[in-house]
Amino acid sequence: MYIHEAIKARTADKPFIMRKMWEDVFGARRGVRLFPTCSPDGMIVDSRTAKSPRNGWQPTAEDLVADDWIATA
């Protein structure tokens, strides 16, 4: 699905979004997840390799037009 569809598909059990491609690259346990907000912080990036979540995700053009977005836990 596209990024806007993944954002709408989020639930309480799956509040994050990510690209399926990222899961394949980093592995399900080390993947990068994004938490969309309506705050000035924008998207919160949660990376299993980082010490804490960070704000300010910088998407590539490919990320914005990709159709492999999913909602995830």
Distance CA 42, CA 36 (A): 6
Residue 72 token pair: 């995830």
pTM comes to 0.84
Q: Is the pLDDT of residue 24 over 90?
A: no
**Which pLDDT value is given to residue 26?**
60
Q: Where is 45: in which H helix or E strand?
A: strand 44-47
- Which pLDDT does position 22 carry in this prediction? 84
Q: Hey, which residues does 45 pair with through a beta bridge?
A: 34, 54
The pLDDT tens digits of the residues spanning 36-63 come to 999 988 999 988 777 788 998 899 999 9
Strand order of the β-sheet with 32-35 is: 54-55, 44-47, 32-35, 16-19, 69-72
